[in-house]
Amino acid sequence: MNDVRTVYLDHAATTPMVPAAVEAMTAHLADVGNASSLHASGRRARRVVEESRETIAQALGCRPGEVVFTSGGTEADNLAVKGLYWSRRAVDPVRRRILASSVEHHAVLDPLDWLAEHEDAGLELLPVDDQGRLVPDALAASIAHDPGSVALVSVMWANNEVGTIQPIGDVVAIAAEHGVPVHTDAVQAIGAVPVDFAASGVDAMTISGHKVGGPLGVGALVVRREIELTALVHGGGQERDVRSGTLDVPAVAGFAAAVEVAVKEQADHAARLAVLQHRLVDAVRRAVPDAVLNGASTGSADERLPGNVHFSFPGCEGDSLLMLLDARGIECSTGSACSAGVPQPSHVLLAMGRDADAARSSLRFSLGHTTTEADIDAVAAALGPCVERARAARA
């Protein structure tokens, strides 16, 4: 019998549903009715969807009509970058350049690569500093080189691997000088830092349910009404005719409840996580003195997400260390991808100037609403022996 206590520190991947989201979702699981149907059951379903849309809009500082429901963050990112690119090029074929930070999530990078390969896009990945923050001057120089050819800019609000918060205000200001629309993937930011869509000035913003304590399989692209998007999915014309498909009413209700709670409790949640974050950083440095903290300083709330702790462990393979910790009930993640069974270094750390060994030796501990001091102490107790074993295995 396995009596190992599980310590879940992978909230950036998926965080447990909050009670309000579970309650809102389960309240509608047995309901019948398609939100596009005109009869009474359909109208009841539609009412749930529209009330959920209003809840999300109020929480995020946007208009209800700007919330386009999707199946999650990946679909929303694809709709944003492909939809913007296609619509902009349809009006002006010269606009084929897409500018993005070199540390974007693969849900942005992969569709951008696809557009470059199949749709004649000119993709330019912009440099970041050694903390993973976009260099605004590089963006300004790239746009100024030929502003009439830029279709869009995509820069994430906060990095999913190292937690660095990006200078979205600078990005918007630079792009606005040339009338270039800005998309931001804010999946990691909602509930962790203040996010106001209208005040930010961005034109499109991706959010996801399971990152904020809502259900899996639902998200949204918040996009200004005046922005034209070419649809990825065609069918019934739902969601402003840019995202056809029958909506998952229970999931939408749970998603809205989670967003509302996350935004309402953001300040208290961030303050609590910051305390735990510092406790974990100190514990890691005591257990493994040569461990290297990646990303922005953990002491600045406007530079790094409060629940993110990302370390490189010299002499270790991150995947091996992850599995050793997992055997002791501690669940975290590594930023490296796996291709054909071969570990690949994190593109984020490589962009930050780390070498391949450092990029492969890293782990991300991400904290959330269920994280406790006991979880941090469990990591402190297990990490030293696990690093020793990982180093011995590699040697």
- The tens digit of pLDDT for each residue in 284-331 reads 999 999 999 999 987 777 899 999 999 999 999 999 999 999 999 999
pLDDT above 90 as % of the chain: 93
Phi and psi at residue 124, to the nearest 5° = -125, 115
For residue 61, is pLDDT > 70?
yes
Please report which helix (H) or strand (E) contains residue 223, including its range.
Answer: strand 219-223
Would you place residue 342 in the very low, low, confident or very high pLDDT band (cuts 50, 70, 90)? Answer: low
For residue 347, is pLDDT > 60?
yes
Name the catalytic one among 316, 332, 338, 386. Answer: 338
Amino acid symbol at 177? E
User: What is the structure's pLDDT at 1?
Assistant: 42
Task: Count the neighbouring beta carbons within 10 Å of the beta carbon of residue 375.
Answer: 21
Would you place residue 395 in the very low, low, confident or very high pLDDT band (cuts 50, 70, 90)? Answer: confident
Q: Which of 89, 107, 103, 106 is nearest to 150 (CA)?
A: 89
Residue of 340 and 256 predicted with greater confidence: 256
User: Cβ(167)–Cβ(187) under 8 Å?
Assistant: no
What is the overall mean pLDDT for the chain? Answer: 95
For residue 373, is pLDDT > 80?
yes
Residue of 247 and 340 predicted with greater confidence: 247
For residue 348, is pLDDT > 50?
yes
Burial group, residue 42, by CB count within 10 angstroms (0-12, 13-18, 19+): middle
User: Cβ(137)–Cβ(164) under 8 Å?
Assistant: no
User: Cβ(330)–Cβ(313) under 8 Å?
Assistant: no
Domains identified in the chain and CATH numbers: 19-264 (3.40.640.10), 266-394 (3.90.1150.10)
For residue 337, is pLDDT > 70?
no
pLDDT, average across residues 103-118: 97
User: What is the structure's pLDDT at 341?
Assistant: 52
User: What is the structure's pLDDT at 340?
Assistant: 41
0.85 surpassed by pTM: yes
User: What is the structure's pLDDT at 343?
Assistant: 67
Q: Which of 92, 99, 141, 138 is nearest to 116 (CA)?
A: 99
pLDDT, average across residues 87-114: 97
Would you place residue 83 in the very low, low, confident or very high pLDDT band (cuts 50, 70, 90)? Answer: very high
User: What is the structure's pLDDT at 346?
Assistant: 92
Provide the CB-side half-sphere exposure for 133 (13 A, CA): 19
User: Cβ(202)–Cβ(167) under 8 Å?
Assistant: no
Lowest mean per-residue pLDDT among 152-166, 243-257, 290-304, 321-335: 290-304
Amino acid symbol at 190? I
Q: Which of 99, 228, 222 is nearest to 153 (CA)?
A: 99
| Annotation marks residue 338 as catalytic | yes
pLDDT, average across residues 158-186: 98
DSSP β-bridge partners for residue 135: none
